[in-house]
Every structure is written in C-alpha cells, then in structure tokens.
Copies of this chain bind each other. A is one copy, B any other.
Amino acid sequence: MLNFDQRLEFQNKSNDILTVGELLIDMISADYDDDFDCDTFHKFFGGSPSNIAMNVKKLGIHSLVASAVGEDGLGRFLIKHLNNANMDTRCVQQVPYATSMVVVSKSKNTPIPIFYREADYHLEYTPQLEEALMNSKIVHFSCWPISRMPVRNTIEKVIETAKENNTLICFDPNYHPMIWQKGEDGIEYVKSVISKVDIVKPSEDDAERLFGKDTNENHIEKFLKLGAKLVIMTLGKDGAIVSNGVETIKLNTLATEVVDTTGAGDAFWSGFYTAVVKGYTIREALNFGFAVSAYKLKYTGAVVDLPKLEEIKEIYGI
C-alpha cells in the first residue's frame, strides 16, 4: 500500500524519470472552423510524455525521453526542440517511418483529431532504452504505446524490467478507441496493463470509456481491484479524488486563473513526480501536482516556462 504520508524510497539511480511513448507533430488549424475548412495550419511539438519530461527538468529533477520519430525533417524538428530544451535525446530513435502526426481542426464544438501514426509505434526495446530504464527511479507511459504492435512489446519488456529493478511504474490510462488498430477493442488490454502498474491518473472520461458510466467512487474501486496501488482520479475544476485502497481523499485544485487548459494534466504529473523524487510525501506531492497545474493554467501552451519546485512551493504555500 502507498500510504499518503509516506515518502517513496528510491534506489540511488542516476536518472529520475524516464517517459516512454509518443513524440509527434500536432498540426492545428489557425482558425476555428466546423470541419477542416481552414486552409492554414500551424505545426507544434507534441506528445505528452515529452512534455512531462521537459516540465520535470524545469522543476529540477533529471529526465529522459524514449520515443521514435521518422528519419525525416519533422523528426529532426522534434529532436532539435528537445535539444533546445536541454533534453538528453540519446533514447530518441529515428526509424524508417514518417514522424507521427495529429491533425486537428480547432472547433467550438468537440474537435475531432485525425491520427497519422507511423514512427511512434515502432519504438524498439534497445540496449540503450534498457540501460536508461535500469538507471531510472520512475517510468511513465500512456495508452499510446500500448495501443499498437510492435511498440506494445517494448512496453511489456519495460514493465518487466521496471518490476525487476524496483522502478515505480506510472501509467496514464487515457484510453480512446481512435488510437487503437481498427477492429481491436483495447479496453481489455488497458485493464491488463493497469494490473501491472503502481500509479494511474485517470480522468472521469478515461474511467467512463474503460468501465462505462458509474460513480467516481465505483470507478476508483475498479482501478484498485485491477491492481493499481494508487489511483488519482482528476475531476477538472473539481480537483481530484485519490485512493490507495484503504484511504480515499479529496483534493481541491489550486487554480485561480485559467488561460489555457492544454497540458494541465501533464503539469500535474510533473509536479507530483518532482515532489516524490525530492522526498515529499504522497499527500504533499499531490498538492505539488495541483500547484504546478495551477501555474501552467495561467499561461498559453502545453509546456510553459515553469520555475523550480522550491519556487512553486513558496508561491502556493505548500
């Protein structure tokens, strides 16, 4: 059990967190329109695991990104962007497939993205990735890399090695049918992964997609029953409910000003990870998650210029 007032014990490893998975281009329409009528698009660096890795580095811990991009101009752009953020890119693989892309037409209704998955799901379990993993305290991944072969095999090996090396395994169960292979129902597979990880952070929508309509409490119970040791269910502006299977707590957000919600979830993970690595208790780390998320919400963009965790601590009085 992960006690809320417990500090996580990590072995002495050179890297703090390794994020594994999607690194891609977001191609977003310049204007709002109903259905891809807009002719102008802007390209952005994308992929939640990389955003988390860049965030935690700014907050003050060590991170590495393991992802696959194409041997093409868009792949080089992504690597350059990571380098510019002083990230170590030794685990970014260049593979003979196009750099993955998500095309989005901004919409006042629900925008429906179009997924071009190519390079991202060809991430291989290389000796370099294994070494990075063995030297990391935490490993993080989302549903993207488990949704396709062959990268799914890579994640299975990552989980195996992480368990053997007492690496904390954190999983974003952001299940969405659109990223799965046609004809494959990913729900059962996502559930099988939940049973092997330590911490999950579902949103209410994630939970509903996985388990159908139910109360938050019942959803949390389902994640715990599958085997997750800590379930952080985020509720948007209503904060989060967190349970370790014995105790369930309710936390409020610290957001006072909301300019752009993009990347708020990644900011939460980032504050939480940085705090647990820095020796704060889980309860404190959850508050740091909300503090970093609140800081990010004041600015536009998925990755903003975060201060060190110590400054966050002062600003939000944690």
Contacts and interface: CB of A to CB of B under 8 A. Distances in A.
Nearest to A100: B116
Nearest to A40: B42
Interface string A77-116: 1000000000000000000111101010100000010111
Contacts of A27: 27, 41
Interface string A46-89: 00000000000000000000000010111011000000000000
A163 interface: no
A25 to B, nearest CB: 8
Contacts of A30: 40
B96 A114 contact: no
Nearest to A183: B96
A43 interface: yes
Contacts of A96: 182
Interface stretch (A31-39, A206-214, A252-260, A285-293): A31-39
A294 to B, nearest CB: 29
Contacts of A43: 36, 39-41
Contacts of A97: 182
Contacts of A77: 35-37
Q: How many copies does the complex hold?
A: 2
Given A97-B182, A182-B97, A74 B114 contact: yes
B41 A74 contact: no
A74 B103 contact: yes
A88 to B, nearest CB: 22
A6 B271 CA distance: 78
A130 interface: no
Contacts of A42: 39-41
A205 interface: no
A284 interface: no
A99 B27 CA distance: 14
A118 interface: yes
Interface in A138-162: none
B76 A101 contact: no
